[in-house]
Each structure stands twice: as structure tokens, then as C-alpha cells.
Structure 1
Amino acid sequence: MSAAPSTQIDVKDLSLAQLKEVQLQLQNEINHLQDSLEQLLMVQSRFRECAGSVDQLTGGAHPAQGGQSILVPLTSSLYVPGKIPADQTPENSTFMVDVGTGYYVEKNGVEAKKFFIAKTEKLDENMRDLKRIIEDKVKNFNVIQTVMKEKIIEQQQQQQQAQAQAKKVPA
């Protein structure tokens, strides 16, 4: 199935009402894309936090002490006490990693950290693409605004000319 050929329309050929419609549509698209970007940033932050937690629990920069008590979240506001095993290392530790749509996979510390880092890098790539799309939409929005201003000025000049002509014609 092939895509329909795209046709380009010169925005200067559009009426002021049509330009306002396009401007509103672009503004809605920009708002939606910016909301999506913010959501991706929050998800990326969670992935970074997960990678940091795995690192901390398995002997990273500030390793947790073996036998140390911790609170394990069951929900966003419900925790149960737990203990870090004394022999915890990146290779022998196990984590249940949410890989999406309610599926969990058991991974050791090294694999879990790699998983979260890969997810973070993929989100970086997606966010760069999304930022480029937003920039293009903003450029289009600015073009529409410029053309609208030109058309408004043009209409005002035509009205002034018509008024001047009306004053010249004797009644």
C-alpha cells in the first residue's frame, strides 16, 4: 500500500480564516508533542534511577552494605522491610525487571543495568527526533503567523484605500 502523494500549498494563497485554522492545528500539535517530550523525560529519569539503584545495590559508587535493612516498595505508597544479602555482587544478584506490558524478566545486576542504560539511550534518540519535529512545527507556526500579519496589514491598507476613495467621491 503506497502513501498518497503529498501536495504542497503556498500558505500565502490561504485566507485569513484558513490560516487561523492551520495556526490552531499547529499549536495543538506543538502542545501535544511537548507533553510527549515531558513524559519521555520522566520515563528516562525513572530508568536512570533504576540503573542507579541496581548499581548501588550491587557494589557501585556507594554500595549498600550486605545485611543492611531496606524498604521494598510494593506500590507507590506501600513498602515492606527487606535485607540486602551479604554476598551481593553484580553477577550473583537477581532483579525482576519490568520489560513492558506487565512482563517481568529475571536479570542479574550487570544485565539489569545494561537494560536500563539501553532504554535510556533509546529514549535519548527518540527525544532528539521529537525535538527536531517540534522545531519544524514551531518554524511552520512562525511562518503562518508572519503570513497572517502580512494579510492583516494588507486588509487594513485596502480598507484605508477604500475609505479614501469613498471620501473623494462626491455624494
Structure 2
Amino acid sequence: MAQISATEQKGMQQIDLTTLNIQQLYQLKQQLDQELNLFQESLASLKMAQGKYQNSGEALEKITPQSEGQEILVPLTGSMYVPGKLHDTNNVIIDIGTRYYVEKDVEGAKDYFQRKVKFVTEQMEKIQWLGLEKSKIRDAVVEIAEMKVAQQQQQQS
């Protein structure tokens, strides 16, 4: 898929939208719509990941030396929990993705989740900026297509 951008970038050529015919403009609009949908899906996925990292960080706040020996529910899956007792309040095992787990001290785990939240937030901001840029281009394409259709109708009258 060709990349479309409002800003000039190395290795990309600029196209005057007014030189395109109506069918080409509608194809371009369709491509932009697909890209915008992909951005929305990506943002939704990132938002879920951000929430999971934030929840994990917040859960770590509840682990204190005083909570040792207390009964807890241990998540086996997203919807299945088993009862357990908190044995070591200094170390936790965290999921770092693709079924890899690491043992960290509580402060190290909090730092890990804070860094992940920050990274995901930065990625979301980049995608939002790109989405805004694509949306502006889409609006310009629609405007020019409408103008060409109006011109065509005027010529036929």
C-alpha cells in the first residue's frame, strides 16, 4: 500500500489532487478510509494494553509487607482465579509478553509498568497525529471530488 502524507518526506512524490480524475479521487479516499480504520483499531489495542499496564501497576501498590500471609485470588487467565496466600511481598512474577515471565522486586516491577505505560502512551500519540494528518488529506480529497462532480454537472447542463 502506498503511503500518503500531507508533509513532504524524502523518497515520496507530491501529487496535485486536482489533476486526478473522480474515480482516482474516490480510490484515494477509500485507501485513506482503510488507513484511518487501521489507526482506530491500533489505538483501541494500545488503549487496552495501556489499561492492563496501569492496572498491574496499581495492583502492585496494594502489596505491602503487612499483606504477607493474606489470602488473595491468583489470576490464571483473564476470567479464572484460584485462591492463594501471599508468601513473598518483596518479589513478584510479571508477564513481559508472549508467555515470558520475570521475577522482579516490587519497585522494579512498578518501574517496568510505568515505563510500559509511558511507551504505549507515546505510540498512541504518534498514531493520533498520523490519523489527524490522514483525516485532513481525506477531507481535501472529498472536497476536490465534490468540486469536480459539481463542475461535471455544470458542464452537462
Q: Specify if TM > 0.5.
A: yes
Aligned partner (choices 51, 54, 58) of residue 52 of structure 1: 58
Q: Structure 1: how far apart are the matches of 2:115 and 2:140? A: 38
Aligned partner (choices 118, 130, 133) of residue 133 of structure 1: 130
- List per-residue Cα deviations over 1:10-60 (Å, max 9, x = no partner): 11000000000000000010011011001101100000000001111237x
Q: Structure 2: how far apart are the matches of 1:5 and 1:46? A: 38
Does residue 24 (structure 1) correspond to residue 26 (structure 2)? The answer is no
Q: Structure 2: how far apart are the matches of 1:79 and 1:6? A: 52
* Residue in structure 2 matched with residue 76 of structure 1 by the alignment: 78
Q: Any unmatched runs of 5+ in structure 2?
A: 1-9
Which amino acid in 2 is paired with 1:8?
Answer: Q
SS at match of 2:54: helix
- List per-residue Cα deviations over 1:121-158 (Å, max 9, x = no partner): 01111111111000000000000010011001100110
Deviation at 1:76, TM superposition (A): 2.2
Identity of aligned residues (%): 36
SS at match of 1:9: coil
Q: Structure 1: how far apart are the matches of 2:11 and 2:112? A: 40
- Higher RCO, 1 vs 2 (CA within 8 Å, ≥6 residues apart): 2
Structure with max Cα Rg: 1
Q: Structure 1: how far apart are the matches of 2:148 and 2:139? A: 14
Aligned partner (choices 143, 148, 154) of residue 151 of structure 2: 154
Q: Would you say how many aligned residue pairs link Structure 1 and Structure 2?
A: 148
Q: Any unmatched runs of 5+ in structure 1?
A: 161-171
Q: Structure 2: how far apart are the matches of 1:19 and 1:141? A: 10
- Aligned positions of 1:1-171 closer than 5 A: 5-58=11-64, 65-85=67-87, 88=89, 93-160=90-157
Q: Structure 1: how far apart are the matches of 2:64 and 2:138? A: 50
Off by >3 Å, runs of 4+ in structure 1: none
SS at match of 1:40: helix
Which amino acid in 1 is paired with 2:139?
Answer: N
SS at match of 2:92: strand
